[in-house]
Structure 1
Amino acid sequence: MVLLASATVLMATASTAPVVARSGPGRAGVTTAPHRDIARAVGRGVKVSARAAANDARGQHRDPNVLDKLHPDLGARSTSGPGAPAESADGADVQTTRVSTPGPWIVAQPDPEVVTQFPGIAEADVCSCEPPDPWIAVSPTHIVQTTNGMVRISNRSGTTLLSEPTWALFDVPADHGDSDPRILWDAVHGRWVGVVVTYNGSATDNTLQLAISETGDPTGAWTVYPIGFANYLPDYPGISTSSSKIVLTSDDFLNGVTYVGPTWLVIDWSNVLAGTTLFVGGASYDTTGFGHFRPAISLSTAVNTPVIYQNGTSPWYFEISGTAHAPLAVNEYDLNATFGALNFSAPPDPVQPGAIGISTAVDERPTDAVFRSGQLWFVSTGDYNDGVDDWAYARYTQVATSANGSAPTSATDLALFASGTHFFMPGVGIDAHGSAIFVATKTDPTSTYPTTVLGGVMAGSGLASFVDVEASTVAYTGTRWGDFVGVAADPLGAGAVWVEHELVAGDGTWRTSVIRVVSDGAAPGLPGAITQTVVVPATLPSVNVSVKTSWGAAADPDSGVAAYLVERSDDGGAYAGVRTPGTSITQPLRIGHAFRYRISAIDAVGNVDAPTNGPTYHPTLYQQTSGTVYTGTWGTGTGSGYSGGSVRYASTAGRYATFTTTTARSIAIVTTKASSRGSFKVYVDNVYKGTISTYSTTTSIASWSSNTPGPRRGRTRSRSTSSGRPATLASTSTRSSFSADSSAYLRSAAVMPVPHPRCRHRDSGADPRGRRSDIERWRKPLVFFLDAPISESEIVPGHRRGWPGATQGTAR
C-alpha cells in the first residue's frame, strides 16, 4: 500500500504572499487576454416536473450520444526524464513539507472511513457510452447521482425514489444529445442547481442547460434555462454556486471541432429567486493558450468565486467578482511562477493486469476544485517517471486564499505516486472541520484492477494513509475513465462527505458506487429523557403488556447518530440490550414486575457515550371495583368475558365514574363502537377533554387517549379541592347505556417511583355538574383501557347505545 509518507509524497510550498501577480514569460491570463463580453437575457426558463418528466420518458429511448473526447493541446507533456512529480518544468525549488490546515483545532480529526455504501448508476442502466462522468450531490434529505445519460434521486439510505434520463430533467430537445451533467446542492438557498451540455448532430446548435429546483425536493418542480452558444460547443462545463451567484464555465469548440477558447458566466441568485427574465453576464476568450476553468464549489461564504485553470503548462488562479450585469475577473495569479506549484504534465495511459490499457482514460486537465474557509483544493492527474517507465500520479494542491480579492498566500502540492502503480482521476472534498478528503483510482499491470483508494489531510492531524475502498475484479474494456469523480460535503455531518466513484462491472463495462466517508473521533451526546406509554391491546392481557419506551434524540455533529443501544434491567438484575435505529422501542413486559431502561447513542463510526437512565416502574393490574367512585345509578353485570367477571353500566344521562390518583401520566379509553352504543364525556384534572361517541352503523374497535403532566394538586372534578388527580367519565344521553368493565389495567407511564402505593383516605368533592360525592384517592398513575383507539365524533341523537368493556389501569 502506498502511504502518504516522505518516500512517495513531495509537496511544493510557498514563501510569503506576493505583492503583485507573477506569470510566466509572455503569457496572458484572463485579465489581459482578448475576450468578448457577454451580457444578455435568456428568458424565464421552462418549468419541468421531475416526476412527470420521468413518467413521460418511460418507453422512450434516446442515445445519449456522449461527446468524443475534446482536449485542446495547451502544451502539457510527459516529464522529460526520471524524477518525482514535484520536479516542475521551470525548475522551481521543491521540498518535502506538511500540508497546512487552518487552525487552531479543538479536536484533531481521525483518518476517514467508509460507513455507508450502496451501488450507484451502471452502464447497464443507461447506455453503451463512456465515460460515465460520475457526480453526486447531497442535501439533508436526498442524494442526487448523475452520470452521462441518467439522474438518480434517492433517500440518504440509498433507496431509489426516482431515476430518469438526463434529457428529461434538463428538457433537452429531441434532436439534441447531452453530456457532462453536474448537479450541486445549494444549502444557502435550499435548492438544487445543475448543468448539462446539449448539441445537435452537426454541433451548430449548442447550449448549456441550467436547471434549478424550485424547492429542496429534487423530485418536484425545476426551472430549466437554455443558454445558447450558437455553433460553439461548450464542452467540459464547470458549475459553482454561492450565496450571491451561480458561475458556469466551458471550453468552446467551433462546430464541435476547433478549440477557440474558454467562457465563464455569472447568474445572480436574486434574479433567480425573483422569477424574472434571467440575465447572464460573463466573458468568452479568443485564445487557445489557456482553458479548463474549474470554478471552486463554495462551501463557505466568500465575496468572490475562485477559479483554477490551465494556462500553458501552469496552474493559474483568478476570482470572479461582481454581478451578472457587472461581472469582473480579478486577482489573477500564476501559481507555479508565484509559489512553485507543480506544472501540469500529460499522464500515460493506465495499464491493467494482462497489459490491458485504458487508451484515453485521463489527461492533465484540472478536474475539480472546492473552497471552504480560507482553503481551496484542486486535483489533476500527471506523469511520474521512475527512470524506466512513466506512471500516472494523482495530484492534490491546496491554495490558501480568502477569495475576497486579497492575494493568495501559498500553494502546496501533494502527489500520490509509486513506481509500478498508476494513480489517476482524483477527487477532493472538504468537510465542515476543514479536513480535505481525497479519492483516486489505482491500477497496475500485474495484479490490481481499477480500485478506489481513500485518504486525506485531516484537520489538526495531518496526512492520513491511503486505504483501498473497493476493488474491481476484471479489467475495464472501454477506453475512457472519469472524466471526474464526485465528492460532496454532507450537510448532516461536520466530519462527513459522500463520494460517487467509478469501478468495473463484471462484464467489463463501467459501474459506480456511492459511499459515505466519515472522520469522527467524538462520542455522541446523551439521549433525552426516557418515558413509557402502554400500547393499547386488542384484548386485555393477563400476563404481559406491550409498553412503548421512548427517548429524546441524541445529537452527533460529526457523523450523525446511527443507532441506540437500549438496555433493560428486570427486577433489579443485570442490564441486557438491543440496538435500534429509532427513538422508541415496544416490548412485552410482565405485569407485577419492576423494569428500568437506559439508552446510549451510537454514532456512524461506532462511538458510544454514557447512557441516559430512566425510572423504575411496575405495570400493575386493578379491577374497576378498586378505587372507582360511581355517581348516580349504576348497574352491575357479570360474565366470563369481563375481566374479573363483572362490569358496571349506566343508562341515564348525568351518571359519573371517577378514579383519582396523584401520579397519573396518561389516559386511554377503549371500547366497541356499534349501533347500540351511546356517548360520554371525559374530564382529566377537571378539564373537559371531549365527548366520545361510540355509535357506529358497523361494529368496530376504537379508542380515545389523553396525555397528562406530572403529579400536581388539583380539583377532584370541577369544583372540589382534592390533592388527587381525577379522571371522570360522564354519560350524556338519557337513551344510552354506559358501562365500565370490572377489570383494571394500569398504564406503565410513571416517571418516578411512588413511595406510598396504597395510601387510601376519603375526601369530599364535586362532580362537573356541581353535585357532591365521596371519592377514594390512590397514589397511582391511571389509565382507562377498553380495546384500541376511539374517535372523538359527536353522538347521533335518538339511538340507544352502550359502552361495555371499559377498564382502568395504573403503573406503580
Structure 2
Amino acid sequence: MKIRLLLAVAAMACATCAFGATPVTLQLQRGGTTVPTTTPLGGAPLTALELDPAMTSGDADSGDGYDMGNKPVVNRGITHGHAGSNRMGNGGRAKSSPELLGGFDGLNFHDQRYANGGNQFSVEPPDQGLCAGNGFVLESVNDVLAIYSTSGTRLVGPVDLNTFYGYPAAINRSTGAYGPSITDPSCYYDAATQRWFQVVLTLDRVGTTSALSGTNHLDIAVSKTSDPTGAWNIYHLPVQNNGTQGTPDHGCASGFCLGDYPHIGADAHAIFLTTNEFSLFGDGFYGAQIYAISKQALASGSSSVSGVLFNGGDPSIPAPAFTVWPAVSSGGQYAGANGGTEYLLSSDAVFNDSGTSTNVWVWSVSNTQAIDSTPSALALNVSPLTVQQYAVPSSLAHQKPGSTPLRDCFAVPACVNNFLGYPSFVYPAPRDLAVNDSRMQQVSYANGKLWGTLDTDVLLSDGSHGSGISYFVINPNSGVLFANGTLALPDANLTYGAAAVTQSGRGVIAFTVVGPNDYPSAGYASLDAKVGAGDVHIAAAGAGPWDGFTGIPYLGDDRPRWGDYGAASADGNTIWIASEYIAQTCTLSQYLTAPLFQCGGTRGALSNWGTRISAIGL
C-alpha cells in the first residue's frame, strides 16, 4: 500500500505543536463573472452515455488499495480497518418537532440529470452544500444549484454548475463535446462582508474529449452584493501542486496531485479552503492542504488576491492530516486572539488498523490579520485532544422494504435489456446503502467554542453494526471538552451528520435516518454544550427506498453511494439544514410510463435521491 502516513507517533502526546515552516504564498487572479440563471429541464430520458467516463470507477473505502482500477477519481477515503469494540450511543425518537419552523423539498436527481436541457451526466451521490443569510437560502448539490427565499420559493434554479461557472456543458449531447468535470460543491454566507462564497473542484479535460488533462482547480464564486441572485466574480485556485500554474511541487505520483473533497470556512480576515491531496492518476495520499485567502480582497472583487498554502503532508507536522475541516462562524463571530485565528478539526481513526481512535486533532491558523500585508506571517498549530472512542462504521445501512423500479427492471431481462440496455442482474430488495466513514464533518465556531461531528460505528439493539454520530464541543484554547458523546438510535442508522450553531451557542445536528423501519429520512437533533445531543426528530419522512445506480454491476462504482457530506447553516436564531432523503416512490409500471423513467418528473432513470431543506427555530 503506497500511502504516505505522515504521523510521528511520539509527537501525539504533545500539548501544542507549532511549526516553523514558512507557508507557500499564492496569488489568485479574478476571472470572469456570472449571474445564476435557471437552465431548462429536458433531454432524452436515457442515453447511451449516462456516466462521466473519466469519473467512473470503483471505490477505495472498502480496503487498502489505491490501484487505478479500484479507486474513485474524487471523494476518496482511507480505511484501514473496522471497529473491534463498539458501544451504543444515547438517543431516542422525539414524539414531536416543536422547533421545526417549516421546510421544503430542495434539489433532486431529476433536477441534476435534466438541467441545461439534459446536457448533464447522471451523478450519485448527492454531495450537499447549503448556506443561508439576508433572506435567502442557497443550495448546491452535484452538479446543480438553486436559490430560495426563506419561505421556500425557488427564485433561481436549477442552474447546472458548468453554466454557473462559465464553462461549456458537462456533455453536449448534440456534438459529443465534454466540458470540465465539476464536483464537491459547498457554500458559505459571510455576515461580516455580506457576501456569498460558492466553491467547487473542477477537473480539466484534454480538449473536448472525456480524458482528464491533470490540471484541476478550486473555483471560487463570490457574490458582488448581499443578493445571491445577482452577479458574482469567479476566481480560480490551481491545486494540481506539481509546480505548474504557480503551484508548489508535492511530488504526487504520475505528475498531478488532486485537490479532493474541498470545504470552506472563515475567520475575520480569511476564507479557508481545505482539500485531501491524492495523486490524480497514480497511487498515494499526500496529506490535507490548508489554503488561507484574503476575505476582504475576494469580497471587494479585487483583480489580484493574496493567499497562503499550508501543506499538511509536510513531515514536520505530527498529525495525520486527512479531512481537516475549517470552521464556519456564526453571525460574524470570530476568534480574535493572536492576530485573528481560524480553527479546524480532523479525526484519525481511518489511519488505525483497528478503525478506532480516542483522538481528534485541533488545528489553528493564527495571525490571519496579516493575510493582506505579510501572508507568510500566518502560523499553523495542531494538538491532539482525547475524546470518547469513535470508530469507522463497519456496515452498510439496511432500508425499509418498498418499491424500487430500477432494481426491479434490472431483475427482469425483458425490462433491463429492452429499456435500459444493460445485462440483467438480481440483487436484494431493498438494497443496502453506504454510510460515511469517520472523517470529520462540518465544523462551527460559535460562543467561543468549536463544534464538530463525525460518523461512528455503533451496536444496534439486534446486535448488528450501524452508524451513529459522535459530537464534540471544545474550548479550542484549553482543550476542555464541554460536551462529547454519541447520538444513535437502537433500530436505525444516523449518517452524514452536520452541525450548525447560533451565536448564543445553541446547535442542531442534521443527518439522514435510515434503517429496516425507516426509508431514508431527513432528521435532526439539538446540540447543547451542557447536555449534549437531544432526541432524534424527523423533519421529513422518506417516501420510499433509495433506488440508485451506484453499486450496480456495469455502472462503474462498487459502493451503493448515498452521500459524502451534509450541510447546516445558522442564520440568526434559525438554523437551516439540508438532508439527503427520498421524497418520492413509484412502481415499475409507472417508471415505464411515458415520459420514461421519470415517474411524473420526480426521479430519473438511474436514481431517485432528493434533499429536504428545513428551518429549525432556537
| Band of TM-score, shorter chain | 0.5 to 0.7
Tell me how far 1:185 sits from its aligned partner: 0.8
CA displacement, residues 562-581 of structure 1 (integer Å, 9 cap, x when unaligned): xxxxxxxxxxxxxxxxxxxx
Which position in structure 2 is the counterpart of 1:40? 26
Of the three residues 253, 268, 273, the one matched with 1:243 is 268
Of the three residues 572, 575, 579, the one matched with 1:501 is 579
Is residue 488 from structure 1 mapped to residue 569 from structure 2 by the alignment? yes
Of the three residues 359, 363, 376, the one matched with 1:318 is 363
Which position in structure 1 is the counterpart of 2:162? 167
Structure-2 change in CA distance of 1:460 and 1:286 (3 Å): closer
**TM-score of the pair, normalised by structure 2:** 0.68
Is residue 254 from structure 1 mapped to residue 279 from structure 2 by the alignment? yes
Q: How far apart, in 1, do the equivalents of 2:168 and 2:313 lie?
A: 29
Tell me how far 1:360 sits from its aligned partner: 3.4
Which position in structure 1 is the counterpart of 2:470? 395
The one-letter code sitting in structure 1 at the alignment partner of 2:609 is W
Contact in 1 for aligned 2:483/2:530 (Cα 8 Å)? no
Is residue 78 from structure 1 mapped to residue 82 from structure 2 by the alignment? yes
Q: How far apart, in 1, do the equivalents of 2:455 and 2:11 lie?
A: 26
Is residue 290 from structure 1 mapped to residue 321 from structure 2 by the alignment? yes
Q: How far apart, in 2, do the equivalents of 1:124 and 1:247 lie?
A: 32
Tell me how far 1:82 sits from its aligned partner: 4.9
Of the three residues 466, 469, 476, the one matched with 2:536 is 466
Of the three residues 136, 141, 149, the one matched with 1:147 is 141
Tell me how far 1:319 sits from its aligned partner: 0.7
**Alignment gaps of 5+ in structure 2:** 1-6, 57-71, 114-121, 170-178, 205-210, 241-255, 352-356, 402-428, 549-559, 587-606
Structure number, greater radius of gyration: 1
Structure-2 change in CA distance of 1:82 and 1:485 (3 Å): closer
CA displacement, residues 462-503 of structure 1 (integer Å, 9 cap, x when unaligned): 653222221113211232122222211123xx2x11111111
Contact in 2 for aligned 1:35/1:284 (Cα 8 Å)? no
CA displacement, residues 120-156 of structure 1 (integer Å, 9 cap, x when unaligned): 1010111221111122211222111110111101222
Contact in 2 for aligned 1:391/1:419 (Cα 8 Å)? no
Q: How far apart, in 2, do the equivalents of 1:84 and 1:461 lie?
A: 18
Q: How far apart, in 1, do the equivalents of 2:8 and 2:482 lie?
A: 15
Is residue 366 from structure 1 mapped to residue 436 from structure 2 by the alignment? no
Structure-2 change in CA distance of 1:454 and 1:483 (3 Å): same
Contact in 1 for aligned 2:494/2:511 (Cα 8 Å)? yes
Contact in 2 for aligned 1:64/1:179 (Cα 8 Å)? no
Q: Within 5 Å, which residues of 2 pair with 1:290-439?
A: 290-299=321-330, 300-302=333-335, 303-311=340-348, 312=351, 313=357, 314-321=359-366, 322=368, 323-324=370-371, 325-326=375-376, 328-336=378-386, 340-354=387-401, 356-385=430-459, 388-401=463-476, 406-410=477-481, 412-439=483-510
Is residue 513 from structure 1 mapped to residue 612 from structure 2 by the alignment? yes
Q: Within 5 Å, which residues of 2 pair with 1:162-201?
A: 162-163=156-157, 164-172=159-167, 175-200=179-204, 201=211
**Corresponding residue SS for 1:205:** strand
Contact in 1 for aligned 2:497/2:566 (Cα 8 Å)? yes
Contact in 2 for aligned 1:23/1:333 (Cα 8 Å)? no
Contact in 1 for aligned 2:162/2:182 (Cα 8 Å)? yes
The one-letter code sitting in structure 2 at the alignment partner of 1:234 is G
Q: How far apart, in 1, do the equivalents of 2:307 and 2:87 lie?
A: 46
The one-letter code sitting in structure 2 at the alignment partner of 1:306 is Y
Counting strand residues as a fraction of each chain, which structure ranks higher?
1
Q: How far apart, in 2, do the equivalents of 1:38 and 1:344 lie?
A: 34
Which position in structure 1 is the counterpart of 2:253? none
Q: How far apart, in 1, do the equivalents of 2:539 and 2:148 lie?
A: 22
Which position in structure 2 is the counterpart of 1:265? 291
Q: How far apart, in 1, do the equivalents of 2:127 and 2:479 lie?
A: 31
Structure-2 change in CA distance of 1:38 and 1:116 (3 Å): same
Of the three residues 78, 103, 114, the one matched with 1:117 is 103
Q: Within 5 Å, which residues of 2 pair with 1:662-681?
A: none
Counting helix residues as a fraction of each chain, which structure ranks higher?
2
Q: How far apart, in 1, do the equivalents of 2:533 and 2:236 lie?
A: 43
Contact in 1 for aligned 2:12/2:384 (Cα 8 Å)? no
Q: How far apart, in 2, do the equivalents of 1:454 and 1:398 lie?
A: 17
Structure 1 residues 35-44 or 25-34, which shifts more? Answer: 25-34
The one-letter code sitting in structure 1 at the alignment partner of 2:187 is I
Contact in 2 for aligned 1:64/1:177 (Cα 8 Å)? no
CA displacement, residues 592-640 of structure 1 (integer Å, 9 cap, x when unaligned): xxxxxxxxxxxxxxxxxxxxxxxxxxxxxxxxxxxxxxxxxxxxxxxxx
Contact in 2 for aligned 1:379/1:397 (Cα 8 Å)? yes
Structure-2 change in CA distance of 1:347 and 1:38 (3 Å): farther
Contact in 2 for aligned 1:136/1:143 (Cα 8 Å)? yes
Is residue 132 from structure 1 mapped to residue 126 from structure 2 by the alignment? yes
Contact in 2 for aligned 1:453/1:469 (Cα 8 Å)? yes
Tell me how far 1:341 sits from its aligned partner: 3.9
Q: How far apart, in 2, do the equivalents of 1:378 and 1:183 lie?
A: 17
Q: How far apart, in 1, do the equivalents of 2:360 and 2:150 lie?
A: 36
Tell me how far 1:444 sits from its aligned partner: 1.9
Contact in 1 for aligned 2:539/2:614 (Cα 8 Å)? no
**TM-score of the pair, normalised by structure 1:** 0.52
Structure-2 change in CA distance of 1:69 and 1:247 (3 Å): same
The one-letter code sitting in structure 2 at the alignment partner of 1:132 is P
Runs of 4+ in 1 over 4 A off after TM superposition: 26-36, 57-67, 69-76, 458-463
The one-letter code sitting in structure 1 at the alignment partner of 2:446 is R
Structure-2 change in CA distance of 1:439 and 1:413 (3 Å): same
Q: How far apart, in 2, do the equivalents of 1:429 and 1:197 lie?
A: 23
- Taking every aligned residue pair, what percent have the same amino acid on both sides? 20
Contact in 1 for aligned 2:567/2:577 (Cα 8 Å)? yes
The one-letter code sitting in structure 1 at the alignment partner of 2:364 is E
Q: How far apart, in 2, do the equivalents of 1:378 and 1:435 lie?
A: 13
Tell me how far 1:460 sits from its aligned partner: 7.7
Q: How far apart, in 1, do the equivalents of 2:33 and 2:537 lie?
A: 45
Structure-2 change in CA distance of 1:327 and 1:148 (3 Å): farther
Which position in structure 2 is the counterpart of 1:280? 307
The one-letter code sitting in structure 1 at the alignment partner of 2:228 is P
Tell me how far 1:171 sits from its aligned partner: 3.0
The one-letter code sitting in structure 1 at the alignment partner of 2:267 is S
**Corresponding residue SS for 1:217:** coil
Contact in 2 for aligned 1:263/1:284 (Cα 8 Å)? yes
RMSD over equivalenced CA pairs, Å? 3.3
Structure-2 change in CA distance of 1:511 and 1:359 (3 Å): closer
Q: How far apart, in 2, do the equivalents of 1:265 and 1:159 lie?
A: 35
Q: Within 5 Å, which residues of 2 pair with 1:61-72?
A: 65=52, 68=72, 70=74
Structure-2 change in CA distance of 1:149 and 1:36 (3 Å): farther
Contact in 2 for aligned 1:36/1:284 (Cα 8 Å)? no
Q: Within 5 Å, which residues of 2 pair with 1:673-712?
A: none
Q: How far apart, in 1, do the equivalents of 2:290 and 2:450 lie?
A: 19
Q: How far apart, in 1, do the equivalents of 2:149 and 2:25 lie?
A: 39
Structure-2 change in CA distance of 1:284 and 1:173 (3 Å): farther
Which position in structure 2 is the counterpart of 1:600? none
Q: How far apart, in 1, do the equivalents of 2:441 and 2:21 lie?
A: 24
